[in-house]
Structures are given as C-alpha cells and as structure tokens.
C-alpha cells in the first residue's frame, strides 16, 4: 500500500494547481489530506504487525517452555 500512496502523492503534486477551479483546489486538498491519513494508518499498521510478531514469539516460548 505504501507504494500506491507514494505514487498517488507524486501524481497529485504534478497537478498545476493554478489552473484548477476553486472546487478542484478544495478537492485536491481533501485528496492530499486523505492520503496523509492513509500513510499514517499504514505506519500504525506496520507497528501493530511488529507488536503482533513479538507477542506471537512470546506465546510460542510459553507454549514450548511450558511456563
């Protein structure tokens, strides 16, 4: 997903904002904000995956060690 976000941001930044109508500028701003939120959510998701792996490792150790 991160590649898609980066590619979309790159595409949005190539738009000539001076040629946009006010409504289009507002829509572009909304799109950029939504992409920033998606990128942040992807970062949070990556951290949660890391935490999940650690917890699974601990659970496996407890199961194997019998503690």
Structural domain spans, the chain: 1-65
Predicted confidence (pLDDT) at residue 1 exceeds the cutoff of 80: no
**Phi, psi dihedral angles at 16 (to 5 degrees):** -80, 100
What single-letter DSSP state applies at residue 66? T
Residues with Cβ within 8 Å of 9's Cβ and at least 6 positions away in sequence, in order, are 32, 35
Contact between 18 and 58 (Cβ < 8 Å): no
What average pLDDT is seen over the chain? 88
Residues 25-52 pLDDT 10s:
999 999 889 988 988 998 999 999 999 9
CB atoms within 10 A of CB 6: 12
Cα–Cα dist 8/35, whole Å: 8
**How is residue 3 written in tokens?**
């590649």
Q: What percent of the chain has pLDDT over 70?
A: 94
Model pLDDT, residue 62:
83
Model pLDDT, residue 67:
60
């Amino acid at each position: 997903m991160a590649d898609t976000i980066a590619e979309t941001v790159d595409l949005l930044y190539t738009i000539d904002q001076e040629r946009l109508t006010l409504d289009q500028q507002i829509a572009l701003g909304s799109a950029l904000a939504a992409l920033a939120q998606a990128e942040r959510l992807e970062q949070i998701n990556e951290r949660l995956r890391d935490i999940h792996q650690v917890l699974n490792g601990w659970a496996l150790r407890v199961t194997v060690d019998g503690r």
